[in-house]
Structure 1
Amino acid sequence: MNTRTRVLIAVSGTLALAAAAVLYVGAAGARNQGAASAGTSDAVTLDGGRLLFRSTADADRGHVSSVSAADPGGARAVSTVSCSRVHAAGGTAICLRPETGLTTYQLAVLDRRLAVTQEIPLVGVPNRARVSADGQRLAWTVFVTGDSYNGGRFSTRAGTLDLTTGDVEGTLEDFAVTVDGKPYQAADVNFWGVTFTRQPGRFYATMSTGSHRYLVEGDSKARTVRTVRDNVECPSLSPDETRIAYKSAIDGDPAKGWRVSVLDLAGGTVTPLAETRSVDDQSAWLDDRTVAYALPRTQGHSDVWAVPADGTGTPRLLIPEAESPAALP
């Protein structure tokens, strides 16, 4: 079976998934105040000098929006496009969203003007989304249910789309896995949080198995992944490709929350960042010096914060009523 036929993510427990969808996307009921910025417009593009995000404000919940990178607390532009998760780079955006009137989801590829150029069905609740720096490769993560090994709890599926070839990988679980230099197979392998390198076909992601959550390096052409480091989740490669921002479970236990840190790929040095609150997000690099991430404020409302990538300074509120940030250089 060639890669073009791997469009559909493995079908899982529909009823449980529909219920989860209601919890994830349908949390738009009773909300608190949604004051966000000094004004709005509808001119949202992927042109440079902006920060793209998903609004969590009551007035425009879920809509793809943007602000000036020079004045992120100022007036925001709000589009008519709604997404559960969004990311953009290189003139391309990925939008994970519910299909109209259904309890299923789809991946929409958006151009520089946010027009849909391609749609791919997804079976799973949207969780993570990424676009490569050149805008040619897209990745997503969804939650699914029904895997026999986990007693009906949620699992993840991570997939990729290469716009240069049209090839789709519905799940990375088909890749050959190497753990600590040895071939590895297990029923409970899960992947999430893909981040791309500039080298075609190469990426980093999280792989979980047993009690481990590994940083893995992958090769789409060879269809292989290899472990790099333990206790690394939701990696995000820096623009200069020398570091990875990620969340690590405190004391190795996700129940205790996550600490956002930066890994130096060459030397292996880990730098915990000044943000000490639990960050359950895939961070985004604003530039080579600054990392951004979303933190929930109240149910259904989040803010995007930023912190220096070298461990100094203090966290600062970057964009109120926002999540899924992406810098548009």
Structure 2
Amino acid sequence: MTRSRRLLVLALAVLLLGGLGTTLVLRSAARAGQTREGDPAVAEGRVTLGRPAGLAFLNAAPGPHRGALVSVPARTPQAERTASALTCRRFHAAAGTGVCLNSTPGALAQDNQALIVDSELHTVHAFPLAGTPSRARVSPSGHFAAWTVFVSGESYGAAFFSTRTAIVDTRTWALEPDLEKFSVLRDGRPYTSSDVNVWGVTFAEDDDTFYATLGTAGQTYLVKGSIARRSLTTLAPNVECPSLSPDGTRVVYKKRVARGASLWREHVMDLRTLREQPLAEKRSVDDQAFWLDDRTVAYALPAEGSVDTTDLWTVPADGTGAPRLLTPSASSPTHLG
């Protein structure tokens, strides 16, 4: 092939790829501007973490408030949404303290931040994130916040992924930047390995105990952690993204039900007996579920026909009943008040 012909082929390839890229961008923009049937109205207003009997979550409905933290009355979750100016990829709050994992599309990992916000959603401290936001939790007292990011890979179903999980004391701003540095007891014996990953923290009420996932050697475990002792102790295998019940006796979590595939089913485990109960939701849930109360859990599932929007669903925590839609185009639910 002559040099001129090679240049012509190269030019045509560039034009084709450029056209394809433009088409994908335009299609994505068109999808983002489409209102899904059943999406509630969204209006800008004042959102406060102290709102009595309120429910907050991240709005995924198309429009200018996409990604914003919004609030609704807890009893009418599909009511019109009040949108704040705070936008996040993940959010959680308790006792007037919130953690917002912020990520700018296309930005470097160093531009991602964990924002600690007060009850009026004002940022009181910011921490750089080492990767892509994944999980976020605040302790019941509001004294601790935790977050998990992906530092390689993009999902827990990927063949290779690495996470980093941090815990911060919101009173002193003392930071534990990497829970992988905590000591580990596996099956009652000290354990060390270069492939340890920790993710999905959930806090108990004592401002010391937490639960999380530990992954190593192709297996995942529910671990019980101590902030003061900087320790992790394995409790049970095949547990991911636990969430502690309000009464502190159970965790809801996703359990891998197909080896080598990204297929999980929600279960609830009694922490006293380690007995587990599969829930009525049989679709694969890749989320850290949230307890609406001691009887009901909520979780995000991909919206039908969408690759970047989730709906919030609920299911009874005792294995009975059936899944029901809580509210469409939403994620990261949390209580207000």
TM-score by length of 1: 0.86
Higher radius of gyration, 1 or 2: 2
Residues 141 and 207 in structure 2, CA contact (< 8 A), matched pair in contact too: no
Change beyond 3 A, Cα 1:28–1:224:
farther
Distance 1:199 1:54 in 2: 28
Of the candidates 307, 312, 336, which is equivalent to residue 328 of structure 1? Answer: 336
Change beyond 3 A, Cα 1:230–1:41:
same
The aligned counterpart of 2:288 is 282
Distance 1:212 1:206 in 2: 10
Distance 1:248 1:31 in 2: 32
Distance 2:30 2:315 in 1: 31
Deviation at 1:28, TM superposition (A): 6.6
The aligned counterpart of 2:62 is 58
Distance 1:57 1:254 in 2: 33
* 2:137 is the counterpart of 1:136: no
* 2:322 is the counterpart of 1:317: no
Counterparts of 1:1-329 in structure 2, within 5 Å, are 29-31=29-31, 33-35=34-36, 36-46=39-49, 47-59=51-63, 60-98=65-103, 102-103=107-108, 104-145=111-152, 153-251=160-258, 253=259, 255-297=261-303, 298-328=306-336
Distance 1:246 1:328 in 2: 23
Deviation at 1:30, TM superposition (A): 4.3
Residues 28 and 300 in structure 1, CA contact (< 8 A), matched pair in contact too: no
Distance 1:322 1:181 in 2: 41
Distance 1:142 1:39 in 2: 29
Aligned length: 298
Deviation at 1:267, TM superposition (A): 1.7
1:267 aligned counterpart, secondary structure: coil
Question: In the alignment, residue 91 of structure 1 is paired with which amino acid?
Answer: G
Change beyond 3 A, Cα 1:107–1:39:
closer
Deviation at 1:256, TM superposition (A): 4.6
Deviation at 1:39, TM superposition (A): 4.5
Distance 2:274 2:299 in 1: 23
Deviation at 1:43, TM superposition (A): 1.8
Q: Which range moves more in the overlay, 160-169 or 86-95?
A: 160-169
- Residue by residue over 1:47-84, the C-alpha shift from the partner in whole angstroms, topping out at 9 and shown as x without a partner, is 23111111111112111111110100111111111111
Distance 2:331 2:28 in 1: 15
1:113 aligned counterpart, secondary structure: coil
Change beyond 3 A, Cα 1:195–1:66:
same
Distance 1:158 1:28 in 2: 32
RMSD: 2.0
Residues 31 and 299 in structure 1, CA contact (< 8 A), matched pair in contact too: no
- Residue by residue over 1:175-226, the C-alpha shift from the partner in whole angstroms, topping out at 9 and shown as x without a partner, is 0111000000101000100000111221000000012100000111111101
TM-score by length of 2: 0.84
1:142 aligned counterpart, secondary structure: strand
Identity of aligned residues (%): 48
Distance 1:106 1:99 in 2: 9
Change beyond 3 A, Cα 1:223–1:58:
same
Deviation at 1:31, TM superposition (A): 2.1
Distance 1:39 1:79 in 2: 10
Q: Which range moves more in the overlay, 258-267 or 43-52?
A: 43-52
2:261 aligned counterpart, secondary structure: helix
Question: In the alignment, residue 57 of structure 2 is paired with which amino acid?
Answer: F
Deviation at 1:45, TM superposition (A): 1.1
Distance 1:30 1:174 in 2: 45
Distance 1:80 1:109 in 2: 15
Change beyond 3 A, Cα 1:29–1:186:
farther
Change beyond 3 A, Cα 1:165–1:34:
same
